[in-house]
Amino acid sequence: MTRSVLVDLDAVLTIARLGSFRAAAVELGLSTTALSNAVAKLEQRLGIRLFNRTTRSVSLTDAGRTFVERVGPAMTDIHDALLAVQSLQAVPTGTLRINAFASAAREVMEPIILPFLQRYPQVHIDLVTEGRIVDIVAAGFDLGLRPAHLVPNDMIAVPLGRARSNAVVASPAFLAAHGVPIVPADLYRFRCIRARLPNNALFRWQFEKDGEAVQIDVQGSITLDESSLVSIAARSGLGLGYVMEADVRGDIAAGRLVRVLEDWTPTLPPLALYYPGRKNPPAAFTAFMQAVRDVTAGRAIDAGPVQAG
C-alpha cells in the first residue's frame, strides 16, 4: 500500500467523521480543492462514488458507508502500529494538537510550551484556541486544556495546580477621577468594559465572598469579546475591566493597572490538561506530558535542544 493511498483513506475517514470537506481540509492541512481531487481519484480507482455532495451538505453513499465501516478499524490498526514505532523514537518528532480556551493557552505558553519547543525543536505544536468545549477525540486533538471542573469524566486529567483568579482592574487615572468600588454593587455607578461570551451572550461579572455569590450586569461604552482588548481598554482609562488575573499580572506590577475588589474574586479551579487513554503514545506526547509534570512539580524544563543519539 503506497503512502498516497493511506493519505486518501485518511481523507475519506476524516470527511465522513466531520461531515464537511472544508472542515476536513483544515484538520488535514490541505486545500479544499486538493482534498476533493484526492477523493475523486480514489473514487475513480474504486469505480464507485463514496459521497453524495451538494453545495450545502456532504453525506456518505451506501457504498461509502460500507467502505468506511470496513476501512476505519483497519486504519486504526495501522495508525496504532505507526504510533507504537514512533513511541520508540530517540528524539521526539511530529505534531501535537492541543485545544484550549484562549485565556488558558496564555497561562501555559511561557512556563510550558515555549521551553518545551526549545528543548524539542523537531516537535510541532498546533495550538487551537476557542471558547466552546469540543470533543477532542472527534475533532482530532491530542490534548485539551480547560479548568479542571470542565474536563469530561472519561478523560485522563493532569491538573496544573497554578493559582488562578479573575481580577477587576482600572487605570490609576480612572480611579483617581472616579473613585474606587468597595463592593460589587458599587459597579452600577461606574463605567465598565462589557464582555461578550462565545455564545453571544453578555457576560455578567461574577463575585463571591463569605459564601455570598453576586452577579453584576455592568454598563459601559464598549463591549468586547477578547480579554486582551479589555486590558487595552482598561489601560487607556475607558473604565473598569474584568479579566483573568494572569493576563494583567505584568500591568499590575508595573503600575499600569490597579486591582480592585480583590476580596470578592476568590481562587478559581486549576487548569488541567486532559487526554483519552491511549496505547503506545508517540514520543512527542510522552515528552510533553513529562515536561508538564516537571513544571507542575516545580522543576524547570531544560531549554537546551536534545540531540539525536
What tens digit of pLDDT does each residue of 245-260 get?
A: 989 999 999 999 999 9
With cut-offs at 50, 70 and 90, classify the pLDDT of residue 28.
Answer: confident
With cut-offs at 50, 70 and 90, classify the pLDDT of residue 23.
Answer: confident
Q: Which amino acid is located at 278 in the chain?
A: R
Q: Hey, what's the cell of 4? A: 498516497
Phi first, then psi, for residue 270 (nearest 5°) are -70, 160
How far is 23 from 15, CA to CA, in rounded Å? 8
Res 222: pLDDT: 96
Per-residue pLDDT tens for 218-276? 999 999 988 889 999 999 999 999 999 989 999 999 999 999 999 999 888 889 999 99
Look at domain 3-86 and name its CATH class. Answer: mainly alpha
Q: Residue 165: beta bridge partners? A: 267
Res 117: pLDDT: 95
Q: Does the structure show a pLDDT above 60 at 212?
A: yes
Interval 170-186 mean pLDDT: 97
How far is 288 from 275, CA to CA, in rounded Å? 12
Q: Hey, what's the cell of 134? A: 469540543
Res 306: pLDDT: 44
Q: Does the structure show a pLDDT above 60 at 169?
A: yes
Core vs surface per residue 177-193: b (16+ CB within 10 A) or e:
eeeebeebeebeebbbb
Are 3-86 and 166-264 equal in CATH topology? no
How far is 36 from 22, CA to CA, in rounded Å? 10
How far is 272 from 156, CA to CA, in rounded Å? 10
Contact 112, 284 (CB under 8 A): no
Interval 17-38 mean pLDDT: 85
Res 307: pLDDT: 40
Res 289: pLDDT: 92
Q: Hey, what's the cell of 144? A: 485539551
Query: What are the residue ranges spanned by the domains of the chain?
Result: 3-86, 94-161+270-296, 166-264
| Dihedral class, residue 100 (left if φ above 0, else alpha if ψ from -120 to 50, else beta) | beta
Look at domain 166-264 and name its CATH class. Answer: alpha beta
Per-residue pLDDT tens for 73-129? 877 777 666 666 655 556 788 899 999 998 899 989 988 999 999 999 999 999 999
Domain 94-161+270-296, second-level architecture: 3-Layer(aba) Sandwich (3.40)
pTM of the model: 0.63
How far from chain centre, in Å, is Cα 146? 8
> Pairing relation of β-strands 58-60 and 51-53?
antiparallel
How far is 133 from 152, CA to CA, in rounded Å? 10
With cut-offs at 50, 70 and 90, classify the pLDDT of residue 207.
Answer: very high
Res 300: pLDDT: 58
With cut-offs at 50, 70 and 90, classify the pLDDT of residue 301.
Answer: low
